Amino acid sequence: MRVLSGTKPTGEMLHLGNYFGALRQFVALQEKYDDALYFIADYHSMTSVRDGALRRRYTEAVALDYLGAGLDPQKAILFRQSDIPEVTELTWILTSVTPMGMLERAHAYKAAMDRGEAVDHGLFTYPVLMAADILLYHADVVPVGQDQKQHIEMTRDMAQRFNHAYDCEALVLPEPYTLDDTAVVPGTDGRKMSKSYDNTIQMFAAKKPLKKSVMGIVTDSTPVEEPKEPTGPLFDLWRLFADQAESEALATRARAGGLGYGDVKKELLEKILDHFGPMRERRDHYAGRPDEVEDILRQGAVRARAIAEPVLERCREAAGLGEPG
Ligand code: ADP
Ligand code: TRP
């Protein structure tokens, strides 16, 4: 069984939503599956990042976040999406079995249209490239946040349509993998944590900026001594770092009165620093060794291509493309 997932390089650092919604599962699953592939979706970032130097920087940042969070090149194939340009050929092949209506229903496209943005073809075709990412490597399981589940459904649909159209079994249908308790991580303003809302708490931020983000989490104006219901973004974030018993204890303290939001924020700050401390050290280690990181990605690409080539060849053969076999 094979697990695969990817992350778009669109920022300096991943945030708690990316970690709890995606990356944490990546790390756990590299232990569980025979093969694990995790890539940096730099082609995908082209729909929003229009600066080559910046893309390289963000790509390196995701590589460091991956390694820092505990993805291990001995256990997982870590690679850059664009090192395997074959994925764009499979994208083209899949576009011809993808109904327009399916892409018109895609959340990201619909949201951009609703915002009145000028949508380019790359954004419209985004789900097809994502399907190609998954199908090219015969992935069985794809860990993603809730918001990406729709893309996995579309991927299954495209695979089925291709196999049916060409009467073959060249493509394998993947399963999404999401955890219930990681539904949606709230941002500091209570909306979904997202770069686009500027409400993120970064995983590896230094103590000072981290403190600033945590202190900025919105709360109501209930005075310290009043009882409080343990709901809202502050408590939700706190609970991400706690087990059941700790969460219950916090609820009891909140309902008893005398617990200020400021205290909960201080505890949350400590929890974040403790949780990510060892990971930050590992990230720093790699940040000081860019050649080593580059080497890991290149070796990853060699291994990824070895998986991709025969799959693409089967698709080409089934579709009657290229030299007859
Ligand atoms: P952003 O919204 O900040 O641009 P991305 O869309 O790049 O984040 O998300 C990358 C991965 O992290 C996806 O798998 C997504 O589902 C997950 N993710 C992002 N934000 C959250 C969140 N607030 N809660 C849970 N998962 C999230
Ligand atoms: N679209 C995903 C995101 O925004 C990133 C991604 C690209 C991906 N290709 C993928 C995730 C393939 C899983 C599998 O988070």
Residue 211 has pLDDT above 90, yes or no: yes
Q: Per CATH, which fold does 2-185+289-319 belong to?
A: Rossmann fold (3.40.50)
Residue 3 has pLDDT above 70, yes or no: yes
Query: How many A from CA of 167 to the centre of ligand 1?
Result: 36
pLDDT band with cut points at 50, 70 and 90 for residue 177: confident
Residues 6+ apart with CB under 8 A from 291: none
Q: Which protein residues are within 6 Å of ligand 2, measured from CB? A: 5-8, 41, 44, 130, 133-134, 142, 144, 148
Most ligand 2 atoms within 8 A of CB, residue of 15, 29, 45, 144 to mutate: 144
Q: Which atom of ligand 1 is nearest to the CA of 195?
A: 3
Please report the pLDDT score of residue 182 as a whole number.
56
Residues 6+ apart with CB under 8 A from 284: 68
The residue with greater pLDDT, 176 or 275, is 275
- Determine whether the shortest distance from the Cβ of 193 to ligand 1 is under 6 A: yes
User: Spelled out in words, what is the top-level CATH class assigned to the domain 204-283?
Assistant: mainly alpha
Residue 180 has pLDDT above 90, yes or no: no
Residue 183 has pLDDT above 90, yes or no: no
Rg of the chain, C-alpha, whole Å: 21
pLDDT mean over 248-266: 96
Measured CA to CA, the distance from residue 305 to residue 287 in angstroms comes to 26
Residue 71: DSSP 8-state: -
DSSP string, 127-194: HHHHHHHHHTTT-SEEE--GGGHHHHHHHHHHHHHHHHHTTS--SPPPEEE--GGGS--B-TTSSB--
Measured CA to CA, the distance from residue 55 to residue 283 in angstroms comes to 19
Most ligand 1 atoms within 8 A of CB, residue of 150, 181, 194, 239 to mutate: 194
**How many CB atoms are located within 10 Å of the residue 34 CB?**
8
Where are the domains positioned within the chain? 2-185+289-319, 204-283
- Determine whether the shortest distance from the Cβ of 21 to ligand 1 is under 6 A: yes
Judge whether 174 and 139 are in contact, CB under 8 Å.
yes
What tokens does 246 get?
Answer: 């700790």
Exposure string of 166-192, with b = 16+ CB inside 10 Å and e = fewer, is: beeebbbbbebbbeeebebbbbbeeeb
Written as one letter, the residue type at 206 is A
Most ligand 1 atoms within 8 A of CB, residue of 12, 18, 20, 182 to mutate: 18
